[in-house]
Structure 1
Amino acid sequence: MTACAIETTAGDGGAVWPSRFTITANGAYAARLAGTGDALYAERWTLDGPEPYAVPLPLDQPEERHTQLLPLADGRVLTGRRVDGDRHTFSLLYPTGPGTGELSLGAVESTDLTLLPPSPDGICAYAMCVGADTTTIWLVAGGAFGPEQVAEVKGRCSGGVWLDRTGRMLALDRRLDDGPVKAVAVDLERGGEVTPLLQITEESHDRLLMADPDSGLLLIRSDAPSPGHERLGWGVLGSLLPIRFPDCLRLDDAAVTPFAVQPGQVLLPETCSVALRIDAAAGSWVGMWRPTDRRMHQLAAPAGWLAGSGLWTAEGVLRLPYATEETPCGLAGMEVPPDPEPARVEVTVEPRVCRPVPLQQAPLADRKAAD
């Protein structure tokens, strides 16, 4: 599983969204806004070759700082630009010899629109529009006739995590009225049918941060262990076992956010390596952890790390993108240090949290819509 550089935006619970550096689901390409000052342009990185390299995609006019970028598996880069107030236009950029080609896709009207993380199929791209009482999901690239609405969900949603490798099942963190935030699954092939996904207690705020379809590993954030104070925990998709909240993932003076999970660990969630971004007053650095580990390893990030971005290889090497004056396009490799202490999972869930994950894998079972 790959991830992107992230920054916190306003929204329920401080949801995190793709920002300056986004990697395709297959890890082949990435995109970011490059340049200095107001002279910004889209830049595509190729990551699956012997050495990474960057291709600038400038246009006649510079990009705005709030331009959203999303790389596709064919090497094109989707741009989402806000124009004329509440109008968002979309186009695809691609290199054409010495220049940049641009294919216009259409526009969506919305006061609050965010591109969702890259779809696992690598072809389609989706945007989420949050309204006063409903959230709509739009297919903005990969359709036949420009942007089209594919789902409407009651409530205000944030987050956005893909649950499968086809781009059908999308998890969102939803708040209904003034109730708690709960993760739900949205079936994009059944008109946006909604199924409850994560509920630890009735009152707790339960958000899904990452999901790995190979192993079923889930990374969640919830205040169930101590109301009012959110903790980072893990569980398994479809499991009836309780969510665990390891003490090693809790730092008193820093924020810890997962950004990549090791792929290829089929049905072995406890062995998956997880990369975490650690943010504190001193800056940002890297955490590495596995559910079987008793502690989280904290490591210095490479100079120029595009903080919060990276991808794991199936062999367990974490590749971190960085850009410096000397190396404008680089990937640094890290491995999880050996843990000298016996493997043990620390469980800090209160006894009443006995069935936190009614994670019906929505497309595979009969279920009632949770509208």
Structure 2
Amino acid sequence: MTATPLTLVGAFPHTRAAPALRRVGFTFSAGGGYAACMASSGEGGWYVESWRLDTASWRLDTANRQLDTAPTGDSAEQVVGGLIVGGLGGADPGSGATGGAIPVALPQAPGAAPESLRSQLVSLPDGRVLICRLHGESHDLVVRTPASVRETFVGSLRMPGLRLMALPAPGPGAPVAVALGTDSRAVTSVWLVSADGGAQPQQVAEFPGMSGGGVWLDRGGRMLALDHLVPGAAGGSSAPTVKTVVLDLATGTVSPFLELAPGSNDRLVAADPESGLILVRSDAPGQDRLGWGVLGEDQPLRFPDCLHRTREFLRPVAIEPGRAGVPASEQRVALQGDWGAGSTLAVWRPSSGQLETLPVPAGRLGGVGHWSAAGLRLPYSSPDHPAGIATVQVDRLLAGPPEAEDPVPTMPLRLAPLQGGAAGMGSVIRILPSPRSLREGRLRAASGWRLDGSAAPGDGGRWHGARAVELAGAAGPMEAVVYGGDTWLTAQHLVVALHGGPADAWRLEFDPALQRMAGEGLAVVAVNQRGSTGYGVEYAQALQNAWGGPDLDDVLALLTSVSGQRAALGLEPASLFGVSYGAFLALLAACSAPEQVARCAVVAPFLSGPRLLAEAGPAVQALTQRLGGTHEPEDGSGARDVLRMCHRLTAPLLVVHGDRDEVVPVSQSRTLRQELLRMGHTESADFRYVEAAGAGHEVLAEDGAPVLHELLASFLRTGRPT
């Protein structure tokens, strides 16, 4: 008996009328006048956007602006929740504002397939976009122009692994990018790529070993610093290390650049060719730390304490444009800090000896940026703001008086008897305050922060917000992104959402599927159980050789606490939602504690690590083996195999899978369906199986995604599988 696929792909026109709700892979042009990214509205697959960025200084009169004012037109700015939000058409011509960012979708030719998430982009100084598309083991290079469906083919390279880097200052007719490729020979091959279509990529170098990273040491695009993998000693007596080397593109030669200590990992992470300022990341000091130095100076690298934060990963995202005569020690560097679900933004000057945190709104930054006279630009998203480009006026944010931090409430992490509403919530969690979150900070951010291109809901309302909280896990606190305000625990319907990966995490960023659930009135707890990334190495490696071990313990502890408290109030237990690895984990939890689960909805699940290894492609097999997915957790509870446990499943079940899933084969879900039928479960009564025709692993972001979002939200609210 076979399933009848639900035809979603092809049922919707490829239109760009709907605004982009997801954006990934941002890249800025060399001069900062343009940017590019992959975008999706959920109604026509992924496509390329080119952004035009105003490079003039930002001038905006905010003296009379108030929070939460209404927009005056389709392209007007508005201040919402402490953000200055520019409309999709840019700044209001009558507002006196400059410094805007305007996204333009690159139209697709009729019948053309959507872009793949694996496509790489390079934003060119004239607004065009260089696209690298993977086809098997070949990469096709094309150049797209805004407002045209035509594309210029500029070459094809047959390499399993290929990545692009923009040249820092390409001239007319000159190459615009460097392509670095690797294959089974363990060598790095390098090509120069032109954008005019008149010549194939020109190979300029080939050297032994694998390389990553990439920082330009000059504005002319000749000297490129790379992270070079140095193999360990024969016999495994020493581990491989990473050292920075410099590739001279004119001669094709490679020379050492950073070698701080034997066995240390030394990477160049940023450089300013004008002043000579460099930033490095090295574990030579005994721990992985950021340091700085000056090119050409006979001074040792310095590793200041202010750049070493044990609970935050700092990365340079941009260096302020150098001014004539300004020494390297006076250059300012913007650093993004990541820990858990959110990001922070700070500015550091070597001579100051301190890191100055900027009062930006809570959310997630994109890890890349560009600093020009118009301001510091970075991708930004939050649960109630789809990704756009933020423009930050650093001096404005630093000019105001110091602000007091919100006090951190000291609340017990274990559950206590509920009294309903916010009082009950206060005994369950510790609220994690966002940095500088007082109203004064929001007003100050509004005068030096602007977000462009972030789509508003089509109904004219507002997206649902979320916040980070700490919940009690089986072995300690764990963070979650929670939709539903202060009364989420006592909401009529509560969903515990489990992320994929397993090396991944929920972030304080816009998620269309969770947003749709919140729109249906569901409270959502998107939890980062052990094994999630962003909380340190030990937390992330908790699942090594233990899939469905510590993470399942955390989920079961949460379900026991939450569902028990809800039962005392006469409310139904929590429901489960999971994607990919999170779907596997949700099924394990629903089978392990059936009385604590109201409903279970899973997308692209697999049944066990060994079953996934047997059916997946080479890349997923390698990942499964590297993470120890075939090992049985050493906790005495036996194998984590959904097929062996699904006889315990009693909650209504919804299974969604794309029939062209390239990561988790659809056969995993088909096998589960067959087993449920064999055990006597009735399809459409006890469970529903939906196979999305033509969809891959990112089925919730591909064609027809809004239909699936609606299906999932409706099922989790009503429990009716039809």
Task: Give the TM-score band, short-chain normalised.
Answer: 0.7 to 0.9
Deviation (angstroms), 1:101: 2.3
Is the 8 Å Cα contact of residues 329 and 349 (structure 2) preserved in structure 1?
yes
Question: What's the counterpart of residue 219 of structure 2?
Answer: 165
The reply on whether 1:40 has 2:40 as its aligned counterpart is: no
Is the 8 Å Cα contact of residues 121 and 132 (structure 2) preserved in structure 1?
yes
Is the 8 Å Cα contact of residues 341 and 364 (structure 2) preserved in structure 1?
no
Compute the TM-score of the two structures, normalised by the length of structure 2. Answer: 0.41
Is the 8 Å Cα contact of residues 117 and 160 (structure 1) preserved in structure 2?
no
Secondary structure of 1:30 counterpart: strand
CA RMSD of aligned residues (A): 2.6
The reply on whether 1:109 has 2:109 as its aligned counterpart is: no
Question: What's the counterpart of residue 210 of structure 1?
Answer: 270
Change (3 A) 1:326 1:173: closer
Aligned mates of 1:269, 1:148 — CA distance in 2: 35
> In the alignment, residue 157 of structure 1 is paired with which amino acid?
S
> In the alignment, residue 113 of structure 2 is paired with which amino acid?
Q
Secondary structure of 2:302 counterpart: coil
Question: What's the counterpart of residue 22 of structure 1?
Answer: 27
> In the alignment, residue 204 of structure 1 is paired with which amino acid?
S
Q: What percentage of residue pairs aligned between the two structures are identical? A: 42
Deviation (angstroms), 1:58: 3.0
> In the alignment, residue 53 of structure 1 is paired with which amino acid?
I
Deviation (angstroms), 1:327: 8.7
Task: Say which structure is richer in strand.
Answer: 1
Is the 8 Å Cα contact of residues 228 and 242 (structure 2) preserved in structure 1?
yes
Deviation (angstroms), 1:276: 0.9
Question: What's the counterpart of residue 101 of structure 2?
Answer: 52
Change (3 A) 1:330 1:231: closer
Per-residue displacement from partner, 1:320-370 (whole Å, max 9, x unpaired)? 344788897554223153799xxxxxxxxxxxxxxxxxxxxxxxxxxxxxx
Aligned mates of 1:220, 1:234 — CA distance in 2: 6
Task: Say which structure is richer in helix.
Answer: 2
Is the 8 Å Cα contact of residues 28 and 48 (structure 1) preserved in structure 2?
yes
Secondary structure of 1:20 counterpart: strand
Paired residues for 1:127-142 under 5 Å:
127-131=179-183, 132-142=185-195
Aligned mates of 2:227, 2:133 — CA distance in 1: 25
Paired residues for 1:274-353 under 5 Å:
274-302=333-361, 306-313=365-372, 317-322=375-380, 330-336=389-395, 337=398
Compute the TM-score of the two structures, normalised by the length of structure 1. Answer: 0.78
Deviation (angstroms), 1:299: 2.7
Deviation (angstroms), 1:89: 0.6
Question: What's the counterpart of residue 125 of structure 1?
Answer: 177
Aligned mates of 1:306, 1:338 — CA distance in 2: 22
Q: Of 262, 276, 299, which aligns to 1:241?
A: 299
Question: What's the counterpart of residue 82 of structure 1?
Answer: 134
Question: What's the counterpart of residue 182 of structure 1?
Answer: 243
Task: Give aligned pairs, total.
Answer: 315
Aligned mates of 1:323, 1:141 — CA distance in 2: 33
Aligned mates of 1:200, 1:109 — CA distance in 2: 36
Per-residue displacement from partner, 1:286-326 (whole Å, max 9, x unpaired)? 121111122212234457765223222259x4233447888
Deviation (angstroms), 1:116: 1.9
Is the 8 Å Cα contact of residues 67 and 79 (structure 1) preserved in structure 2?
yes
Question: What's the counterpart of residue 146 of structure 1?
Answer: 200
> In the alignment, residue 81 of structure 1 is paired with which amino acid?
R
Is the 8 Å Cα contact of residues 191 and 202 (structure 2) preserved in structure 1?
yes
Aligned mates of 2:309, 2:319 — CA distance in 1: 20
Aligned mates of 1:305, 1:322 — CA distance in 2: 6
Is the 8 Å Cα contact of residues 263 and 313 (structure 1) preserved in structure 2?
yes
> In the alignment, residue 47 of structure 1 is paired with which amino acid?
L
> In the alignment, residue 206 of structure 1 is paired with which amino acid?
D
Deviation (angstroms), 1:46: 1.0
> In the alignment, residue 159 of structure 1 is paired with which amino acid?
G
Change (3 A) 1:238 1:161: same
Shifted more, 143-152 versus 213-222: the winner is 143-152
Is the 8 Å Cα contact of residues 143 and 195 (structure 2) preserved in structure 1?
no
Aligned mates of 1:202, 1:313 — CA distance in 2: 39
Secondary structure of 1:129 counterpart: strand
Secondary structure of 1:69 counterpart: strand
> In the alignment, residue 351 of structure 2 is paired with which amino acid?
T
Is the 8 Å Cα contact of residues 95 and 101 (structure 1) preserved in structure 2?
no
> In the alignment, residue 190 of structure 2 is paired with which amino acid?
I
Question: What's the counterpart of residue 91 of structure 1?
Answer: 142
Gaps of 5+ in 1: 1-18, 341-371
Secondary structure of 1:100 counterpart: coil
Is the 8 Å Cα contact of residues 343 and 363 (structure 2) preserved in structure 1?
no
Aligned mates of 2:373, 2:290 — CA distance in 1: 24
Change (3 A) 1:299 1:242: same
Aligned mates of 2:400, 2:220 — CA distance in 1: 35
Aligned mates of 1:306, 1:81 — CA distance in 2: 26
Paired residues for 1:1-20 under 5 Å:
20=25
Question: What's the counterpart of residue 328 of structure 2?
Answer: 269
Gaps of 5+ in 2: 1-23, 56-97, 233-239, 402-722
Deviation (angstroms), 1:24: 1.2
Question: What's the counterpart of residue 125 of structure 2?
Answer: 73
* Structure number, greater radius of gyration: 2
Per-residue displacement from partner, 1:33-74 (whole Å, max 9, x unpaired)? 011346111000111354321111032321111111111112
Per-residue displacement from partner, 1:148-203 (whole Å, max 9, x unpaired)? 2111122211111111111111111112332532111111111x111221222233
Deviation (angstroms), 1:238: 1.7
Is the 8 Å Cα contact of residues 206 and 221 (structure 1) preserved in structure 2?
yes
Secondary structure of 1:248 counterpart: helix
Question: What's the counterpart of residue 685 of structure 2?
Answer: none
Per-residue displacement from partner, 1:85-140 (whole Å, max 9, x unpaired)? 211111000024xx432111121111111112443326511111123431111223
> In the alignment, residue 176 of structure 1 is paired with which amino acid?
V
Secondary structure of 1:65 counterpart: coil
Question: What's the counterpart of residue 546 of structure 2?
Answer: none
> In the alignment, residue 42 of structure 1 is paired with which amino acid?
V
Is the 8 Å Cα contact of residues 23 and 29 (structure 1) preserved in structure 2?
yes
Deviation (angstroms), 1:245: 0.7
Aligned mates of 1:339, 1:130 — CA distance in 2: 50
Question: What's the counterpart of residue 510 of structure 2?
Answer: none
Secondary structure of 2:329 counterpart: helix
Aligned mates of 1:242, 1:254 — CA distance in 2: 25
Change (3 A) 1:117 1:300: farther
Is the 8 Å Cα contact of residues 302 and 322 (structure 1) preserved in structure 2?
no
Aligned mates of 1:306, 1:282 — CA distance in 2: 11
> In the alignment, residue 182 of structure 2 is paired with which amino acid?
V
Aligned mates of 1:303, 1:65 — CA distance in 2: 26
Q: Of 258, 261, 270, which aligns to 1:201?
A: 261
Question: What's the counterpart of residue 353 of structure 1?
Answer: none
Change (3 A) 1:259 1:330: closer
Is the 8 Å Cα contact of residues 21 and 30 (structure 1) preserved in structure 2?
yes
